Amino acid sequence: MSRPAKAVINLDALQHNYQLAKSLANRERTNGKVLAVVKADAYGHGAVACAKALSGQADGFAVACIEEALELRSTGIQQPILLLEGFFEAIELNEISRHKLDIVVQNPEQLTMLEQSPQPEPVRVWLKMDSGMHRAGLLPQDFRAAWMRLDALPWVSDIVMMTHLACADESDNGYTRHQLEVFEQHTLGLPGERSIANSAGLVNYHQARAEWNRPGLLLYGASPFETVHPIEQQLQPVMELHSAIISIKNIPAGSPVGYGSAWTSQRATRQGVVAIGYADGYPRHAQNGTPILVKGKRVPVIGRVSMDMLTVDLTDVPQARPGDSVVLWGKDLPAAEVARYASTIPYQLFCNLNRVPVEYAQSSIAVDV
């Protein structure tokens, strides 16, 4: 029998969350489009399976680099695919044109390479402004001139103007309003579609809902906000992380547990061992008290998370037995809540998933990946 740790990906939930994002995009306009962000293997959920599940709904997809895009194209995905970091060398442009990929241009070097590389097929360019995040993007004062240079190129079909919000996950943050004003000021009068909102921007800021929207985490059923937010009630978690109890013992009060003796029992304790650890992607820094579900009841993690195992207090679940399934995060235990216990974010929980077999579930169609 194989080790019991596994991740189950609910593709029906993914479709539900995409439609939720679509409904948010269309609150300000009737033609708000949504790119499903599936970079980093769809945040650990499986890019091919997720893109296939959304292929009948999504207006397009977004990935980090050409390798991720070509993987999707090789499996028959025909929708627009945007390279969020653009291209790194001019030689990539031939493949970009041939496979009809969209590109972000976010620095002067990319702009110059594109000018010097005529293409047989037109390419749609997403020109990125650094409106205040100060990561990737052209400075606002350079944006209009870059737009004019792109517009002069016969092999550029369309120019979508885009930016990225630094603090959209903080409700009513003044800096987000500042970024929106900067973007509006420096694109004023330029024709073309716009793209601003990530997951948090799509939920929190109606001014960020433009012709194109780029949700990522929201699609996977996790809240992008550090504190509890009403949107959580509308989301359906896509990933459920499972394992099982492999050992139970009774230890007396005063017994230290795990590496560094970081937790000591204050009472006689029924201690369980679960077959999952930080090598599987469960956060090593999950603090004592982090909940997991055993027979539908929350029980606390005790002691430090090990490479392959973690320990829990089963005293209040006397019916638990070795072999019983446990849930580390999922439908009744949001990944965002687990992340807060580990002083991290759900993005990292999902992306760090490793060594764990992945199963796909969908009610409507057979899943073939």
Give the residue numbers of the binding site.
135, 307
Alpha carbons 151 and 147: distance in angstroms, whole number:
6
Distant-in-sequence, close-in-space partners of 254: CB < 8 Å, separation ≥ 6: 264, 265
End-to-end CA distance of the chain: 24
Residue 23: C-alpha distances to residues 11, 57, 228 (Å): 19, 12, 21
Q: Is 346 left (phi over 0), alpha (psi -120 to 50) or beta?
A: alpha
341 is catalytic: no
Residue 335: C-alpha distances to residues 72, 133, 321, 329 (Å): 27, 26, 25, 5
Annotated binding site for substrate: 135, 307
Give me the catalytic one of 22, 33, 39, 52: 39
| Residue 241, strand partner residues | 7, 329
Q: Is the dihedral of CA 328, 330, 335, 340 positive or negative?
A: negative
175 is catalytic: no
Contact status, residue 228 vs residue 27, Cβ threshold 8 Å: no
Give me the catalytic one of 249, 259, 295, 297: 259
Q: Using DSSP bridges, classify how beta strands 263-264 and 256-257 pair: parallel, antiparallel or unpaired.
A: antiparallel
Alpha carbons 205 and 197: distance in angstroms, whole number:
8
Alpha carbons 276 and 116: distance in angstroms, whole number:
52
**On the CB side of 167, how many CA atoms lie within 13 Å of its CA?**
14
DSSP assignment letter at 138: B
Q: Which of 100, 101, 87, 79 is nearest to 35 (CA)?
A: 79
Q: Is 42 left (phi over 0), alpha (psi -120 to 50) or beta?
A: left
Residue 359: C-alpha distances to residues 11, 276, 282, 338, 348 (Å): 10, 17, 18, 21, 20
Report the catalytic residues.
39, 259
